[in-house]
Chains A and B, each alone.
Chain A
Amino acid sequence: MEGFDPFLTIAVGLLLIIGTLLVYAGTRSWYASVGLDPQYYVKRHIFNILIGAILAFGTTIIDYRLLRAYTPIVWGLGVLGLIAVLLPGISTEINGAKAWISLPGGFQVQPAELAKISIIIGLSMILSERTHDSNQPTHRDVLQGLLIAAIPIALILLQPDMGTVLIISASVVTIIAVSGASSRWVAGLLIVAVVGGFTAVKVGVVSDYQLKRLQSFVDPTVDPQSSGYQLRQSRITIGSGGIVGKGLFKGPQTNGRFVPEQQTDFIFTVAGEELGFLGSGLILALFFTIFMRGFRIARRSQDIFGRLVATGVIAWFAFQAFENIGMAMGLMPMTGVPLPFMSYGGSSMFANLIGIGLLQNVHARQRG
């Protein structure tokens, strides 16, 4: 037993603290102005972090090798949640996507977030089982793994939640690549991803809503009132922060709520405006630290399963952070994915912290 990786813990802890301040900054004046409790969001955010921390701790202490035994259950629960979310009466539709299950007490669960964990663990298990002498997964293993991933991905596609599909797909390809599978699989999957994305847009699997978001990324003037407007506002808000920022709670763009969803998908704009280049750069540096520590853990893992899980979790965090921050800065098209550890939202927070728990778990049991 090696215990926790301290760098990983500190980096995540700092991101959680900064995120909490930003959630508060992004919601306090808005809620105060409509006569509601300005701390409504931040209280719930802290509550989410606490639950997430307990989940993470739980994930850490169970030996991940034991997890392998429960993998089919974890995966099955994930798929069930994804089916439930599509059923009328159970799901809540937000922005044209059926992604949330309402729970009593005003809470909502987003099964797709938790499904990410199911897919990473499930795929890692299939690809690390060695039923033969070879040092690499067979075609059969890869096909099985793809099936394991494809079912939940297809269900998420039906919501539809393109952002999550993209991030999970990227993680899946990464896990397959790092598993040592034939490079033809990796190349093939990349081609499928590109062709699939292109066809989806062409034949209209992608909804108008999503298409508009993609178009407005290419040409922000297409729809000045909606997504193009949001992207422009987002860039302006970040840019106006300058080097040192306007100061926490003092951003006029943030307080005027010119950027929508600034406590969730666009939380990075709050950092950009109020904390400036120094603060936003620190956030990027903390993410970078998490990724580097994650790779270190993967490298030093005792077995293939541990390595694949760690790599999958890092790929997930990295692609999601890139998509979210890239969108806020106009580098990526608009897809509604939260920023790991920072955005307001319970399911996402739980999944992120469970992911950290997995990393710590692998770290704790690594080679000496």
Chain B
Amino acid sequence: MNQRARLSFLVTQILIISLMIALFGRLFYLQVGAGGKYRDAALSIQSRDIVNPATRGLIVDSSGVPLALNRVGLAVTVDRSIVDKQTDQGAAVLMRTAKLLGLSYTDVYRQTRLCGELQKGNQLGCWTGTRYQPIPITKDADPNKALQIVERSDLFPGIDAMPLAVRNYPGLGGVNAAHVLGYVGPLTDADLSGANGKHYYRSESIGKAGLEFQYDSYLRGTPGIRTVIVDRKEAVTKESQNTQSIPGNHLVTSLDARLQNATESALANAVFRARSSGYRADGGAAVVMDVKTGRILALASYPTYDPNIWERGLTVKQAKDLFAESTGVPALDRPLQGQYAPASTFKSVSLVAAANAGYNLQATYTCPAQVTVGNRDFQNFESKAQGTITMKKAIAISCDTIWYQIAYDEWIRDGGLRPKSNAHDYFFAAARGFQIAKKTGIDLPSESVGRVPDRQWRSGWYLQNKDYFCNYQSRAPKKQQTAFLVALAKENCTDGNFIRGGDAVNFSIGQGDTVLTPLKLTQMYAAIANGGTLWSPTVAKAIVKTDGTVIKEVTPSVLGKLPATSATLSFLRGALREVVISGTAAGTFSGFPIAVSGKTGTAEVFGLNGNGSKKDNTSWFASFAPSDKPKYAVVVMVSQGGFGASTSAVGVRKIYETLFGVIGSQVDPAKGLFPDGPPTKLPNISATTKLSEK
């Protein structure tokens, strides 16, 4: 061998050894380094989970009447993985299916698109699940039509029909309760990603709103999983596990179907009354609470919708209507999410503030037609002077000017526009004591929080809006350049970061920037009634297994005490009783055989409706009864509903009629709903429980 041959021979050996080392390294990486990753990948290739969803638990009222149950529906589904591969992306097949089922093609098209596939603003009715599961376009198909689809699979490739458990809200006794119950729907990719720490199976349905959402982990149960090993052609070669599904647990609520229905119709009735008096009355809320526990007995929002539309498959119109202003935004849960100025119902807070500031509740005060604060005159309601009156009467007839004077005096005492560092802020402190700027903590999702426009809020607000107010004439649209608004902007620009006299005065009668939810006001009046305890309201009472074992009892919790002495509260209760005896609500409750205490509220609302008309007043009535031994707090609110007494108080009276069994001016205790108080024992749960007749 010559030198070169020897060298080449050596290089060849080195080359081949290197190749072997490369193979060995790669093998080590694949099997030892990344083995786990590939093992998972192989498992997902070989195994198929067939998910048998668990039967969802029932939601029942306090006596066992089902509010949510399950039935078998016939679903027609679209398999995107098949129709997308058709030359026209399935247009012809979807059109044929829509025609057969009597649906609109636009609806079917949107129902089968992921929300992200549709343009923004055009996503209503979109599929919130994933692309990899059959997408139902209806769950209530006519069996004959479904049969046609199954038999003519050549005409309907990618379309299938199958029986499916459907969540059903039976509406026994006329109950709607759409907002409280919520609805169920498909899992989204975000749910499946495990970002919320929960593990789901693709074909499961989960609660999307209301109690269905809040107690989903109890209601849903555990699906049965049959895992099979398949080969490349998807033929099953082996079963690797098979677990039975565990049905979901039942949810017992403190709601009462009869009361819920009565509350819903009383609210609707109040809205219609307001409309017949010429008010816009675009929505309302009604809450019935057990004052001793904070448990919710009824919760209604108007306008509402049929909770079953979600499972039937929303049409584009239905989806649009849920959020449209023309239909009154039925999706909005007004008792929890609506924020309104409390107006005169807030005077209960002001009374506590005055008492804490040392004002004598037994003394008399003047109730003039107006009080001048700075350069503005603040009018009494309807600008009437009432002379010198007691504090009790001031509450009863809802005198505003008394509060203007007290609030203004206190504001001056706290330093006016140059606030003292140790300002007492009795009014703000009382509002904070009623926890207006905190959530009630109800066991329902998406609760809004109220607002107390105190000094801290004011300076934050100023920082955000200063620029706008100080450049109002160049920034604001022409239409808003009226002399009054320009002057207001100038004022806001110079000292908007301070609580001004006008702000303090407005605050004392629940106007201005103060807002709260109807549920919050109910919680506050329940606390006045029960001696000062603020309860965190609850809808759920217990979680019960299908065999009757109680898994979890939901016990109400105390959030705090009202910042008032028992003497103050006792005075306040007397004054609220006087409202109904001789004050603003006397007419509405005249001859009513149950002693009711309460407060009317008529809140001015600034701004315009969509059609340019001025907004009507918010009508409130907040109450509790019986006055001597309060059991229930009832609040009705009708937005743009006019006067508190003539609209909402009537609704409240109707609710009490059902609660206590009032017929005309007589009480028939046997016809009352809870002769021995709301049930404390848990009911037997059965899907076939009927509403008892009373």
Give residues in A with beta carbon < 8 Å to B. 33, 135-136, 174, 177-183, 186, 233, 235-243, 252-253, 255-258, 272, 276-277, 280-281, 284, 287-288, 291, 295, 298-299, 304, 307, 311, 314-315, 318-319, 322, 325-326, 329-331
Answer whether residue B5 sits at the interface, using C-beta atoms and an 8 A cutoff. Answer: yes
Complex interface bits, B28-42 against A, C-beta within 8 A gives 1, otherwise 0: 101110110111011
Whether B229 and A256, one on each chain, are in contact in the complex, defined by CB atoms closer than 8 angstroms, is yes
Contact A331 B42 (CB under 8 A): no
Tell me the smallest distance from the CB of B46 to a CB of chain A, in Å: 5
Q: Does B230 reach chain A (CB closer than 8 Å)?
A: yes
Q: Using CB atoms, name the residue of chain A closest to B11.
A: A177
Partner of A180, one of B4, B34, B35, B230: B4
Known interface pairs A243-B32, A243-B35. Does A174 touch B12 (Cβ–Cβ under 8 Å)? yes
B33 and chain A: residue at smallest CB distance:
A239
Contact: A240 with B8, CB < 8 Å? no
Given A239-B31, A256-B231, A326-B26, 20 new contacts (CB under 8 A): A174-B12, A177-B11, A177-B12, A179-B5, A236-B41, A236-B42, A238-B27, A238-B38, A239-B42, A240-B38, A242-B39, A243-B31, A258-B231, A277-B32, A281-B27, A311-B12, A315-B12, A318-B16, A319-B19, A329-B26
| Bound: A75/B5 CA distance, A | 25
Complex Cα gap A272–B30 (Å):
9
A239 touches B35 (CB 8 A): yes
Would you call B4 and A183 a contact (CB within 8 A)?
A: yes
Nearest CB of B to A132, in Å: 14
The 6 closest A-B pairs by CB, nearest first: A239-B38, A180-B5, A240-B42, A256-B231, A177-B8, A277-B31
Please, what's the 1-or-0 string for B12-26, where 1 marks a CB less than 8 Å from any CB in chain A? Answer: 110011011011101
Measured CB to CB, the nearest residue on chain A to B47 is: A252
Main secondary structure of the interface of B (DSSP, over half): helix
Q: B323 at interface (Cβ–Cβ under 8 A)?
A: no
B46→A241 contact, CB < 8 A: no
- B41 CB to closest chain A CB (Å) equals 5
Among B5, B31, B229, residue most surrounded by chain A Cβ atoms (within 10 Å)? B31
The reply to whether A239 and B4 contact each other, CB–CB distance below 8 Å, is: no
A330 shortest CB reach to chain B, Å: 8
Minimum Cβ distance to chain A for residue B230 (Å): 7
Please measure, in the bound complex, the distance between the C-alpha atom of A331 and the C-alpha atom of B232, giving whole angstroms.
Answer: 24
Give CA–CA (A208, B24) in the complex, Å: 32
Complex alpha-carbon distance, A299 and B9, angstroms: 9
Q: Give the shortest distance, in Å, between A317 (CB) and chain B (any CB).
A: 9
Given contacts A178-B5, A284-B23, A331-B22, contact A277 B42 (CB under 8 A): no
B590 → A minimal CB distance (Å) = 79
B8 touches A277 (CB 8 A): no
CB < 8 Å: which of B19, B22, B42 contacts A252? Answer: B42
Q: Across the interface, which residues of A come within 8 angstroms of B37, CB to CB?
A: 239
Judge if B2 is at the interface, Cβ distance under 8 Å. Answer: yes
Interface residue? B567 (CB, 8 A): no
Contacts of B22 in A (CB 8 A): 322, 326, 331
| Contact among A136, A179, A318 with B19 in the assembled complex (CB-CB below 8 Å) | A318
Encoded as 1 (CB less than 8 Å from any A CB) or 0, chain B from 147 to 178 comes to 00000000000000000000000000000000
Q: Does B488 contact A (CB under 8 A)?
A: no
Interchain nearest-CB distance for B17 vs A (Å): 8
- The one of B1, B8, B9, B17 in contact with A186, judged by C-beta atoms closer than 8 angstroms, is B8
Q: How large is the interface on B (under 10, 10 to 19, 20 to 34, 35 or more residues)?
A: 35 or more
**Listed A/B pairs (22) with beta-carbon separation below 8 Å:** A178-B12, A179-B5, A180-B4, A236-B41, A236-B42, A237-B42, A238-B27, A239-B31, A239-B37, A252-B229, A256-B45, A256-B46, A256-B237, A257-B231, A276-B31, A277-B27, A280-B31, A291-B17, A295-B13, A318-B16, A322-B23, A329-B30
**Contact in complex: B232, A258 (CB < 8 Å):** yes
In the docked arrangement, what's the CA distance between A179 and B5, Å? 6
Q: How far, in angstroms, from A235 to B45 measured CA to CA in the complex?
A: 13
CA distance A253 to B39 in the complex (A): 10
> B36: nearest residue on chain A (CB-CB)?
A242
B30 touches A256 (CB 8 A): no
Residue of B nearest to A278 (CB): B31
Give me the interface of B with A, judged by CB distance under 8 Å: 1-2, 4-5, 8-9, 11-13, 16-17, 19-20, 22-24, 26-28, 30-32, 34-35, 37-39, 41-43, 45-46, 229-232, 237
How far is A287 from B31 in the complex, measured between Cα atoms in Å? 19
- In the bound complex, CA of A256 to CA of B240 (Å): 14
Q: How far is the CB of B235 from chain A (nearest CB, A)?
A: 8
Considering the complex, give the chain B residue whose CB is closest to the CB of A322. B19
Considering residues B9, B32, B39, which has the most beta carbons from chain A within 10 angstroms of its beta carbon?
Answer: B9
**Chain B residue contacts of A178, Cβ below 8 A:** 5, 8-9, 12
- Residues of A within 8 Å of B28, CB to CB, are 277
B457 CB to closest chain A CB, in angstroms? Answer: 55
* Bound-complex Cα distance A178 to B5 (A): 5
Residue of B nearest to A242 (CB): B35
Asked whether, in the complex, the Cβ of A180 is within 8 Å of the Cβ of B23, the reply is no
Known contacts A177-B12, A180-B8, A322-B19: A238-B30 contact under CB 8 Å = yes
Inter-chain contact total with CB atoms closer than 8 Å: 135
In the bound complex, how far is the Cα of B130 from the Cα of A346, in angstroms? 50
List of B residues within 8 angstroms of A186 by Cβ: 8
Q: Report Cα–Cα, A257/B237, bound state, in Å.
A: 11
A86–chain B nearest beta-carbon distance, Å: 32
Give A61 to B237 CA distance when docked, in angstroms: 50
How far does the Cβ of A21 sit from chain B's closest Cβ, in whole Å?
Answer: 19
Taking CB atoms, residues of chain B closer than 8 Å to A299 are 9
Least CB distance from A308 to B in Å reads 10
Contact partners of B231 in chain A: CB under 8 A = 33, 255-258
Which residues does chain A contribute within 8 Å of B34, judged by CB atoms? 239
Min C-beta distance of B238 to chain A, whole Å:
8
Given contacts A233-B45, A295-B13, contact A239 B230 (CB under 8 A): no
Q: Which residue of B is nearest A294, CB measured?
A: B16
Given contacts A252-B46, A280-B31, contact A315 B16 (CB under 8 A): yes
Closest residue of A by beta carbon distance from B5: A180
Q: A181–B45 Cα gap in the complex (Å)?
A: 53
Q: Which residues of A contact B46 (CB under 8 A)?
A: 252-253, 256, 258
Task: Report Cα–Cα, A242/B40, bound state, in Å.
Answer: 11
Q: How far is the CB of B628 from chain A (nearest CB, A)?
A: 76
Whether B39 contacts A180 by the Cβ 8 Å rule is no
Closest to A170 in B: B15
Chain B residues within an 8 Å CB radius of A239: 30-31, 34-35, 37-39, 41-42
B30:A284 contact, CB within 8 angstroms: no
Q: How far apart sit A276 and B12, CA to CA, in the bound complex (Å)?
A: 30
Complex CA–CA separation, A233 to B19 (angstroms): 23
A331: B residues at CB distance < 8 A: 22-23, 26
A28 to nearest B CB, angstroms?
13
CB distance from B668 to the nearest CB of A (A): 73
Query: Which of A240, A277, A284 contacts B39 (CB under 8 A)?
Result: A240
| A136 near B4: Cβ-Cβ < 8 Å | yes
Tell me the bound Cα distance from A331 to B237 in angstroms: 32
A251: nearest chain-B partner, CB-CB: B42
Distance (Å) between the CB of B633 and the closest chain A CB?
A: 63
Contacting residues, chain B, for A242 (C-beta < 8 A): 31-32, 35, 39
Give Cα A33–Cα B231 distance, bound, in whole angstroms.
Answer: 11
* A326 close to B39 (CB less than 8 A): no
Taking a contact as CB atoms under 8 Å apart, the answer to whether A253 and B20 are in contact is no
A96 to B614, CA, bound (A): 80
Please give the distance in Å from B132's CB to the nearest CB on chain A: 15
Are A255 and B5 interface neighbours, CB within 8 A? no
Q: Which B-chain residue is minimally distant from A243 (CB atoms)?
A: B32
Nearest CB on B from A184, distance (A): 11
